[in-house]
Chains A and B, each alone.
Chain A
Amino acid sequence: MALLQITEPGADSAPHQRHLAAGIDRGTTHSLVATVRSGEVDTLPDEQGRHILPSVVHYAADGVTVGHAAAEHAADDPHNTIASVKRLIGRGAADVATLSGELPFRLKTGESSVPRIETAAGDKTAVEVSADILNTLRERAEATLGDELEGVVITVPAYFDDAQRQATRDAAQLAGLNVLRLISEPTAAAVAYGLDQGEESTIAVYDLGGGTFDISILQLRRGVFEVLATGGDSALGGDDIDRAIAGWLLNAAGMAGETDAQRLRRVLLSARQAKEALTEVQRTPVEVQRADGSMFRAELDRATLMQLAGPLLERTMGACQQVLEDAGLDREAIDEVVLVGGSTRMPAVRETVEGFFGRAPRAGIDPDRVVAIGAAQQADILAGNKPDTELLLLDVIPLSLGLETMGGLVEFIIPRNTTIPVSRAQEFTTFKDGQTAMSLHVVQGERDVVDANRSLARFTLSGIPPMVAGAARIRVTFQVDADGLLNVTAREQTQGVEAHIEVKPSYGLTDSEIEQMLRDSASSARDDMEARRLREQQVEADRVLEALDAALESDGDRYLEVEERETIEQARDALRAERDQGSDPDAIEVARKRVEYASEAFVARRMNDSIRRALAGHNVSEYDAGN
């Protein structure tokens, strides 16, 4: 156990050191990184001043390119140009098969539970592609800030299940990032607008990107964000509006049957430019070149655009209605509407949203950047740059977790919207005489039947002593950490047989696969693996030492007998010596574990006391308020 540093308000006299942290929005079509500098939060541009990084990776035999350069290969080398990989992350072969019709690249399934994409640079999993994008963002942030990032907050869609969250974390690990926390995208957007300051409110987050539409209803109650309901359409976005405009344009130019790919692409491009221009002006000229080289010129105005986009926007309204019903709320119950996604710049979208919810949406922050900005603010807090902040985002589990029981039914262990972290246990028993093993199937979802839910993992508890049916008592414990990641243990109570699983392998990568990828990846070849491990261990040792010294200084006398203190100090000195010698990561780790072991009781005493103080402090203020 490590030492928990409990600082009293105002007691922190050490000079304030800034910790470098960033927020990352890993979007389906584009990604961004943001950070707080000198109290100002903003997204970071690349060397050409571009903030948005297209979420596209191009794998050539001679190298990997990410972003704008990769996107240029979409037409000439589609098989090796991986876009929209977020749709695949944390997904198994069966899920991916249903998507593969929409994806231009070649998928290999079968030999592993994790599908791989065939590229000129070898087979890639969605986790690796995602890691390449994260790595580019990390490099950008580190180049801008001039030093290594201590940690990041990464956003994920509210509906992401355990496997998708775990895969996102794995990608971050591959990219050499320390994840402080995963937070949901709509929550990040609400944080960016400072909506977490209020006492209690209900917020709708309308997120229309290039290719996806999400609508989430959040409820904020005293710093706790709950996602009440989330919905949308994973195949609806601004690109569909471009296509509608392009169709209108081709019709008007008498080119309705046009098949030439290059001309079509140019028409799509002018359609998009016209759409974007109409955000500023009422009407804009458009032109297309016909096959005979002649130009067709026309004008597009807002009214026509509204007509063209209308059916698509209607579909988003249908999803809004649906999600309100899911949440059991009327439109009037929504206190705030937040816009996310580049497509929400269109006046047509804003008017439609305002018409539906009956209130003007929040739009003061660039809708492309708002998620990254909220993530950066949260990262800044978590990294310890705002010691006085009151804000605490308590997250809830988005989908219920349960186990398969007899007849393919689900027994829910942790229902959706339970505040995390959480640990909950339930007892099961055998159903046959002499049964010595029990297979456990962990699922996530809201349906009563197993098949309608997401299968997360299967594992077996064996070695149960033979008993009559119903006599064994198998206690299954589900633990979910602050990021929503699940751990499951099963234990036979009468004999103590135990099985443990980190819920991962079903559709995720195993630890050994990740380790292999770390070894293989170009970035770790450059930055020697051992050196990286040594650095990590030193940082971890520094944290422990710093926390321990502070704890001994403030509370050592109060909680420790002389001998106890000596034992801890010996372990601490050994760790400091090992850390300063700075050559062997394993030795540092062992020394750190000794410190943690030696100080376990001290930590527990301080923790208990801090609980008492939290409650006592409250009693005092209540008394004051009452008088």
Chain B
Amino acid sequence: MNDPFEQFDLPVAFEVDRPQLDERFRRLQAELHPDRFVRQGDQARRMAASVAADVNEAYAILADDYRRAVHLLERTGVDFDPERDTSQNIEFIAAQIEWRERLEEAAAARDSEALEVAGGELEQARAAARAKVAQALKDPEAPAEDAKDRVLELRFFDRLLDEMKRTRRNLAAAE
């Protein structure tokens, strides 16, 4: 697969022009979606599907803060292993534990109000983590030393927010 930035003809940077990205995504899909090749046989449709899947994937990377940051770091030779990588920052590890406990307690108590409050604070913490990533990747060709840690911290908040949404859904479903 080509570089996603190249695929969308966008400047290599952490901050992307979202409306422009969306607009180009629409244009590319309008040309390449397998629905456009229905009348040209199965092979054509399959090939279009594979190109359209590439475009979808490139879009998914560019549209997601964490995935875009990982991609930018990988471009400069930083390795990521989603299974094993964790933040090395002791303070942050302590903060992680605190967040988790707080959400687990609220979930165990089926306290949807506490979950909602924690959710709001979690969103704020995530925004702060994102700002730090943006700072660390200000020069995408020469990311800051600790850029990988910042990105892993962002991932922590994204995952926790996802989990919390799931917990809230399950709580609601159980009621």
Chain A interface residues toward B at CB < 8 A? 1-6, 19, 151, 180-181, 222-223, 322, 325-326, 328, 381-384, 390, 392-394, 418-424, 446, 479, 481-482, 540, 543-544, 547, 596, 603, 607, 610-611, 613-615, 617-619, 622
- Provide the bound-state CA to CA distance between A19 and B47, in Å: 23
Q: Which residues of B have CB within 8 Å of A2?
A: 40-44, 47
Q: Which residues of A have CB within 8 Å of B53?
A: 420-423, 479
Q: How large is the interface on B (under 10, 10 to 19, 20 to 34, 35 or more residues)?
A: 35 or more
Of the candidates B22, B38, B47, B56, the one whose C-beta lies within 8 Å of that of A180 is: B38
Nearest to A6 among chain B residues (CB) is: B31
Of the candidates B35, B59, B173, the one whose C-beta lies within 8 Å of that of A419 is: B59
Binds A, one of B90-98, B134-142, B164-172: B164-172
**Closest chain A CB from B36 CB (angstroms):** 8
> Could you jot down 15 A-B contacts, CB within 8 Å?
A2-B41, A2-B44, A4-B37, A4-B44, A4-B47, A19-B39, A421-B49, A421-B56, A423-B57, A479-B53, A544-B41, A611-B32, A614-B31, A617-B27, A619-B9
Q: Which residues of chain B from 1 to 37 have a CB within 8 Å of any chain A CB?
A: 7-9, 20, 22-24, 26-37
**Closest chain B CB from A182 CB (angstroms):** 12
Q: Which residues of B have CB within 8 Å of A421?
A: 34, 49-50, 52-53, 56
Is the Cβ of B8 less than 8 Å from the Cβ of A4?
no
Is the Cβ of B31 less than 8 Å from the Cβ of A596?
no
- B51 located at the interface, meaning its Cβ lies under 8 Å from any Cβ of chain A in the complex: yes
Is the Cβ of A393 less than 8 Å from the Cβ of B43?
no
- Provide the bound-state CA to CA distance between A603 and B40, in Å: 12
Interface centre among B26, B54, B166 (most CB of A within 10 A): B26
* Known A2-B44, A4-B48: A611·B35 in contact at CB below 8 Å: no
- Provide the bound-state CA to CA distance between A180 and B60, in Å: 26
Count of chain A to chain B residue pairs whose CB atoms are closer than 8 Å in the complex: 127
Q: Which residues of A have CB within 8 Å of B28?
A: 611, 614-615
**Closest chain B CB from A251 CB (angstroms):** 34
* Known A421-B53, A422-B56, A422-B57: A392·B38 in contact at CB below 8 Å: no
Is the Cβ of B40 less than 8 Å from the Cβ of A618?
no
Is the Cβ of A3 less than 8 Å from the Cβ of B40?
yes
* Known A383-B38, A603-B47: A420·B26 in contact at CB below 8 Å: no
Q: Which residues of B have CB within 8 Å of A180?
A: 35, 38
* Known A421-B53, A607-B51: A543·B39 in contact at CB below 8 Å: yes
Is the Cβ of A392 less than 8 Å from the Cβ of B173?
no
Q: Which residues of A have CB within 8 Å of B32?
A: 607, 610-611, 614
A322-B172, A325-B172, A479-B53 given; name 12 further pairs at CB < 8 Å: A4-B48, A181-B35, A322-B173, A326-B169, A392-B29, A419-B60, A423-B50, A611-B28, A611-B32, A614-B24, A614-B27, A618-B27
**Closest chain B CB from A320 CB (angstroms):** 13
Q: Which residues of B have CB within 8 Å of A615?
A: 8-9, 24, 27-28
Q: Which residues of B have CB within 8 Å of A423?
A: 50, 53-54, 57
Is the Cβ of A618 less than 8 Å from the Cβ of B44?
no
**Closest chain A CB from B62 CB (angstroms):** 13
Q: Which residues of B have CB within 8 Å of A544?
A: 40-41, 43
Is the Cβ of A222 less than 8 Å from the Cβ of B41?
no
Q: Which residues of B have CB within 8 Å of A326?
A: 169, 172-173
- Provide the bound-state CA to CA distance between A481 and B34, in Å: 9
- Provide the bound-state CA to CA distance between A393 and B30, in Å: 10
Q: Which residues of B have CB within 8 Å of A424?
A: 57
- Provide the bound-state CA to CA distance between A418 and B23, in Å: 18
Is the Cβ of A4 less than 8 Å from the Cβ of B38?
no
Is the Cβ of A610 less than 8 Å from the Cβ of B31?
yes
Is the Cβ of A394 less than 8 Å from the Cβ of B29?
yes
- Provide the bound-state CA to CA distance between A596 and B27, in Å: 27
Is the Cβ of A482 less than 8 Å from the Cβ of B57?
no
- Provide the bound-state CA to CA distance between A614 and B31, in Å: 7
Q: Which residues of A have CB within 8 Å of B33?
A: 392, 394, 482
**Closest chain B CB from A401 CB (angstroms):** 14
* Known A4-B44, A326-B169: A384·B30 in contact at CB below 8 Å: no
Q: Which residues of A have CB within 8 Å of B36?
A: 392
- Provide the bound-state CA to CA distance between A446 and B170, in Å: 10
